[in-house]
């Protein structure tokens, strides 16, 4: 598998877990029926499909991503869902969007603008540039999780590793953290900036899909953590978090996990 294939697989497999929170956030935005919008950093297009459903058959979504491999997958997904007319995909960079000023009624970016390791303010300004006055800009990202019930200290130490805090890297200015996005919206001149957090959860007995999604999440959240753990934590991590362990936590009959995603949105003022 190439890196792109592995990433596509992880995005697709974790979707059943995250999709209800994405739907709730899109619903809260109340995108006008028939409106035209941008999904910036659309990945494999899973959210573009939900956005297209929200704006209805008279609306349109443009999905933009840097990765041609992801866009191919996204196009195939839109086709399978019968949404090819309502969604188009384009390769491009969120740092310099290949669209005119005021080209869209709204822009959305999930787990990309403000979340990727890029300076966020210019990206928020760039999203605002391509949205018409009065239209909305929304950025949405994973914001917290509790995945190891009964092991809060281990989970806190896993989260404190370099991988655990990615993509917010050690030594970065606090103002660059996703949860400081209200400041970026203010500086970008967006009006009525607001924040809202959406929770999702999963509990035993886990369906096969949710089990795979949670396992993929463990791997995305804490890849290669062992090198940063004490020998005791390494042993506990292997016992609790590895599927080959007889005490793997996803097999626990009382397993419960929850997570949050946060959306910041505001209106273009010009
Ligand atoms: C974590 S994924 C999120 C994908 C999708 N929005 C989701 O939430 O499932 C981040 C996406 O942003 C894209 N990306 C990263 N930097 C970008 C850039 N400078 N311009 C456009 N896309 C970018 C990546 O290729 C990837 O598809």
Q: Tens digit of pLDDT for each residue in 141-154? A: 999 999 999 999 99
CB of 95 shorter than 6 A to ligand 1: yes
Predicted confidence band at 270 (pLDDT cuts at 50, 70, 90)?
low
Q: Token pair of 238, please?
A: 């292997």
Nearest Cα to Cα of residue 30 among 49, 56, 68, 2: 56
Omega before 167 cis (within 30°)? yes
Predicted confidence band at 59 (pLDDT cuts at 50, 70, 90)?
very high
Asked if the model's pLDDT at residue 166 lies above 90, the reply is: no
Give residue 102 CA to ligand 1 midpoint distance, Å.
22
Mutate to test the pocket of ligand 1, among 39, 116, 221 (most ligand atoms within 8 A of CB): 116
| pLDDT at residue 163, rounded to an integer | 87
Parallel, antiparallel or unpaired: strands 60-65 and 131-146: unpaired
Which residue has its alpha carbon closest to ligand 1 atom 12? Answer: 41
Q: Please give the share of the chain, as a percent, with pLDDT higher than 90.
A: 88
CB of 116 shorter than 6 A to ligand 1: yes
User: Residues 104, 135: contact at Cβ < 8 Å?
Assistant: yes
């Amino acid at each position: 598998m190439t890196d792109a294939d592995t990433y596509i697989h992880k995005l697709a497999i974790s979707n059943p877990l995250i999709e209800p929170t994405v739907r709730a956030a899109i619903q809260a935005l109340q995108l006008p029926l028939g409106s035209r919008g941008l999904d910036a950093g659309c990945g494999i297009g899973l959210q573009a499909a939900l956005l297209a459903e929200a704006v209805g058959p008279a609306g349109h979504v443009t999905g933009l991503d840097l990765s041609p491999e992801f866009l191919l997958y996204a196009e195939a997904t839109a086709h399978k869902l019968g949404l090819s007319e309502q969604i188009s995909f384009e390769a491009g960079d969120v740092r310099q969007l290949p669209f005119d000023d005021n080209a869209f009624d709204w822009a959305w970016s999930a787990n990309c603008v403000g979340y990727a390791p890029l300076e966020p303010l210019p990206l928020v300004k760039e999203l605002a540039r391509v949205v018409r006055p009065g239209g909305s800009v929304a950025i949405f990202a994973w914001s917290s999780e509790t995945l190891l019930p009964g092991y809060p200290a281990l989970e806190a130490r896993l989260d404190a590793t370099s991988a655990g805090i990615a993509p917010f890297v050690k030594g970065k200015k606090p103002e660059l953290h996703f949860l400081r996005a209200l400041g970026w919206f203010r500086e970008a001149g967006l009006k009525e900036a607001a924040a809202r957090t959406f929770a999702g959860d999963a509990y035993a007995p886990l369906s096969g899909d949710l089990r795979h999604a949670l396992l993929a999440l463990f791997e995305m959240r804490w890849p290669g953590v062992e090198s940063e753990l004490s020998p005791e934590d390494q042993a506990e991590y292997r016992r609790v978090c590895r599927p080959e362990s007889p005490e793997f936590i996803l097999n626990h009959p009382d397993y419960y996990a929850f997570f949050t995603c946060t959306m910041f949105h505001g209106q273009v003022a010009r």
